Amino acid sequence: MPQVAGILAQRVGIWNIVYLAGNLVGFLPLGFFLPALFSRQRKFPVLLITVMLAVATLELAQVTTMRGSLDIDDIILNTTGAAIGFRMTRTLHREVSR
């Protein structure tokens, strides 16, 4: 029985990593594309608010259509992913322009 518990713990741990990575990486491109497409989105706070509202809208749509559940973790992780994408783009841009 202890072996089964160990295997389940490993699978749950791997699932958590995949869940976290998927939520972060899934919205990472927004941190690049929104500022590239819309000049107003080049300000970090504006980008964060936009992404947060967009993700919250998606989460509410999941609840209303009964295709999923509203999860605050998704809002936080997706917004963080877009923020990481924004910061990565800014850092890369700074390095290239040197």
SS3 40: helix
The pLDDT of residue 98 is 78
Q: How far is CA 4 from CA 13, 21, 76, 81, 97, in A?
A: 14, 26, 33, 34, 54
How many domains, in total, are found in the chain? Answer: 1
Which carries the bigger pLDDT value, residue 37 or residue 95?
Answer: 37
2 pLDDT tier (thresholds 50, 70, 90): low
State the pTM of this model: 0.81
Which runs of consecutive H residues, i.e. helices, occur in the chain? 2-26, 30-37, 44-64, 72-97
Range of the domain at 77: 2-97
Q: Residues 32-61: pLDDT tens digits?
A: 999 999 999 999 999 999 999 999 999 999
